Structure 1
Amino acid sequence: MELRELRVSFDGVEVLHGIDLDIAPGEALGLVGESGCGKSVTWLAALGLLPGRASVTGSVRVEGLEMCNAGRGALEKVRGGKIAMIFQDPSSSLNPVLRIGKQITEALAIHRGLRGAAARAEALRLMDMVGIPDARRRFDLFPHEFSGGQCQRLMIAMALAGEPDLLIADEPTTALDATIQAQILDLLNRLREETGMALVFISHDLGAVSQICERVCVMYAGRIVEEAPVGELFSHPRHPYTRGLFDAIPALDGPRNRLIPIPGTVPNPRHLPLGCAFSPRCPHAGEECTRLLPRLVTGNDGRRLACHRPVSAPPSRSADLDPARILETV
C-alpha cells in the first residue's frame, strides 16, 4: 500500500498535511502520537470511511489500484477483502441487536461467498482461532454476553473473515487490562506468522508498539515527524517530540522520579504555528523553528526526520527506553 501527499480537510480546515507512507507485504508498522495527531484519520481517509464533510486529496494505491476518492464499487473490492480494519472500542463497533454468529457469517458471505453450513463452520473456526472458548455454544450469543477482551477477539475474527493482506488495528488494546492486552498482542503476532498479512498498529502505548512492530512512524499535528526501525527509534529518538513521549513513560520499579511532561497542548488545526507545529512546546526550538516548516527528509541510514534541531545525545534513561525494558515494566 502506498500513500502519497494524503491530505484531509474538515469544513475547509486541513487536519492531515501530506502523508507519504509505504506498507510492504508482511510488514508490521506502528503509528504513534498523542490523541488528535491524525493516526486514525489517515487510515479512515485511505479506506474512504470519512464523513461527507471531509475533503480528501492525494493518492492511495493498493497493488496499483487507486483508492483515493474511488467509487463505492472499487472500494468494496478492497475493504474487508484486501484490507480490513479493527476499529476502536469493540463494544460500539459490534451490532448490539445481532447475534455474533450472524455478524461473522455476514462478512464471510460478502467477501468469500460462503453461506449456510459452510459459513457457520468457517465462523466457528475463526472464533476458535482467536481464542473464544466454547465457540459452538456461544455462536448465537449477543455482543453484551462477551467480555471486553472477547469482543476485541471477535472483531479480529470478523476482520480475518475476508482473508486480508493488510490488517489495520486501531488502538486494539485500549481499555483492556494488562493481561488481556498481552493476550491480544500475542494473538496478532501469531496471526501475522500464520497468515503472512501486513499489520498497521495504531497506538499511544509505546510498550505495545515495541512488542509487535518492526518500524514506527511518529505523528504530530497531522504530519509524520519521525520514522525509523523500532530498535533505532527506541534506542535513539531524534525528534524532540519523540523524545518527549519516551520521557513521559513511568518507571515502575527503582527510585521514584518525577515524570517529565511535554509542556503545553497540541495546537488547534485552525491556528497552527507558522513554522514547526511542535515549536511552542519544544525545549530545543530556535528562531528558524518558529518561521520555517521542517521537511521530512530521509537520511543515509534510511530513517526519516522532520526537524531543524534534532536531538543528538543518546537518551539519559536508556534502560527505560529499551523495548525489552519497557515490556518488562508493562
Structure 2
Amino acid sequence: MGTTGSSLVELRDLTVAFDGVQVLHGIDLDVGRGEALGLVGESGCGKSVTWLAALGLLPAKAGVAGSVKLEGRELIGGQRAVLESVRGKRIAMIFQDPSSSLNPVLRIGRQIAEALAAHRGLCGEAARAEAIRLMDMVGIPDARRRFDSYPHEFSGGQCQRLMIAMALAGQPDLLIADEPTTALDATIQAQILDLLIELRAETGMATVFISHDLGAVSQVCERICVMYAGRIVEEGSVEQLFSEPRHPYTRGLFDAIPRIDGGRERLIPIRGTVPNPKHLPKGCSFSPRCMRAVEDCRNERPQLVTLEDERKLACLRPVPAAGASEIRSDIPEGLLQ
C-alpha cells in the first residue's frame, strides 16, 4: 500500500533538528487515498513532530529537510500561500487537548463558521447551516441551540467532537488525529473512536491516527508504523503486527499490555528509557534496552527493509516469526477487530 502512483501523501527522508540536535532521522512514509494509518510508540519518538514538520507547523528554529509531497506537490520549503491552501482544506489536524485548541472567548458556532469561510468561502446563513450540520454529524446534541454556546459549556468529549467538526469544515482528504482520546475517559474514548471510523466510511478521507494505545489503533487503522527515537522500526498491517511482532521493541509494547482475562502475573516492561537525542547510540537506538542485542547491534544501524511478507523492519536480530506467533496467541480477539 502507498505506492508512488496511488499515494495521497509521500514523505521521503524527512529529518528535523532543534538547535542542531536531530530528532527525526529520515522518515519514509506513504499514505494512500482513503487509508487509515496508525503511528505508535513511546512519548518523544517523533510521531507528532513528523506531521507538524510536514505541515510547516514547527517553530522557525526547527531545521526541516527532506520531501513531503501532496499528490506530487512539494510542501517542504513551500510558500506560505501554498501551505495555507493545504492546512485545513486538504490536510486537517486535531490535537489531544481540545480545550487549548478552542478559543474560550468566542462562541463555538463562530469558530466553526470561520473555518468554513476560510476553506469553503461560506458566510452568513449558509455558514451557520453548515456548521450546525457538522455539529450534528459529530454527535453534538441539540446542535442548533448550542451553536451560540462557549467552549466551557461543553464537556471534554464534546469539545473533542467540536474539534473534529472544525477539521471536517474544509472537507479534507487527510485527517491527522494526534492522540485525540488521551484526555478522555474510557467510555468517551470509545465513542470518539467509533466517530472517526464512521466519518472515514462516510467521507472517504484518509486518516493518520497517532497514539500510544495499541488497542485504539487496532480499531481505527489498517496499517501501523512503529516509531522509536525518531525512526520507523517496523511497519505492517494490523494483523501482521498483532499476530507476529518481529521487532523486539514492537514485541515489548505488546508484552506490556495487561490482559483482562489474565491472572496476577507481572507485566514485562521494556527496561531502561528512551535515549537522549543528543546522545544516541552508535548502532541501533534500541540496542541498550534490547534483550536480543549483540555487538553488531551496538555498532551497526539497521536499515528499514521490506521482508517477504511485505512488512518493513529495521532490525539485525528480529524476533523469529514462528516464535512470535506462538507467544502472542494470547492477544484478546477484541484487539484484532
User: Which interval holds the TM-score relative to the shorter structure?
Assistant: over 0.9
Partner of residue 271, structure 2 = 263
Partner of residue 3, structure 2 = none
TM-score (norm 1): 0.97
Label 1:299 to 1:317 Cα distance change in 2 as closer, same or farther (>3 A).
closer
Describe the superposition over 1:62-113 as per-residue Cα deviations: whole angstroms up to 9, x where unpaired.
0111001211100011110110000121011111111100110000000000
Contact 2:219 2:335 (8 Å CA) reproduced: no
- Could you say what secondary structure the match of 1:58 adopts? strand
* Deviating 4+ runs (over 6 angstroms): none
Partner of residue 172, structure 2 = 164
Partner of residue 135, structure 1 = 143
Q: 233, 240, 250: which one pairs with 2:241? A: 233
Q: Does 1:123 align with 2:131?
A: yes
CA distance in 2, matches of 1:59, 1:282: 31
Q: Does 1:304 align with 2:293?
A: no
| Equivalent residue letter for 2:324 | P
> Displacement of 1:319 after TM fit?
4.2
> Displacement of 1:178 after TM fit?
1.2
Q: Percent identity?
A: 75
Contact 1:320 1:326 (8 Å CA) reproduced: no
> Displacement of 1:58 after TM fit?
0.2
Describe the superposition over 1:151-209 as per-residue Cα deviations: whole angstroms up to 9, x where unpaired.
00000000000000000000011121111111111101110110000000000000000
| Equivalent residue letter for 1:63 | E
Q: 284, 289, 310: which one pairs with 1:276? A: 284
- Could you say what secondary structure the match of 1:186 adopts? helix
Describe the superposition over 1:125-170 as per-residue Cα deviations: whole angstroms up to 9, x where unpaired.
0000000001111111111110000000000000000000000000
Partner of residue 6, structure 2 = none
CA distance in 2, matches of 1:319, 1:193: 30
- Could you say what secondary structure the match of 2:324 adopts? coil
Which stretch of the first structure deviates more once superposed, 219-228 or 66-75?
Answer: 66-75
Contact 2:90 2:173 (8 Å CA) reproduced: yes
Contact 1:319 1:325 (8 Å CA) reproduced: no
CA distance in 1, matches of 2:148, 2:336: 37
Q: Does 1:325 align with 2:329?
A: no
What RMSD, in angstroms, separates the aligned Cα atoms of the two structures? 1.1
Q: 29, 44, 50: which one pairs with 1:21? A: 29
> Displacement of 1:300 after TM fit?
2.2
Which stretch of the first structure deviates more once superposed, 282-291 or 293-302?
Answer: 293-302
Contact 1:34 1:204 (8 Å CA) reproduced: yes
Q: Does 1:181 align with 2:193?
A: no
Q: 215, 218, 222: which one pairs with 2:226? A: 218
> Displacement of 1:250 after TM fit?
0.5
- Could you say what secondary structure the match of 1:34 adopts? coil
> Displacement of 1:302 after TM fit?
1.2
Contact 1:111 1:161 (8 Å CA) reproduced: yes
Describe the superposition over 1:223-251 as per-residue Cα deviations: whole angstroms up to 9, x where unpaired.
00000000011000000000000000011
> Displacement of 1:256 after TM fit?
1.6
Contact 2:242 2:336 (8 Å CA) reproduced: no
Unaligned runs of 5+ in 2: 1-8
Contact 1:276 1:294 (8 Å CA) reproduced: yes
CA distance in 2, matches of 1:321, 1:11: 42
CA distance in 2, matches of 1:304, 1:319: 22
CA distance in 2, matches of 1:284, 1:297: 19
TM-score (norm 2): 0.95
Aligned length: 327
Contact 2:96 2:183 (8 Å CA) reproduced: no
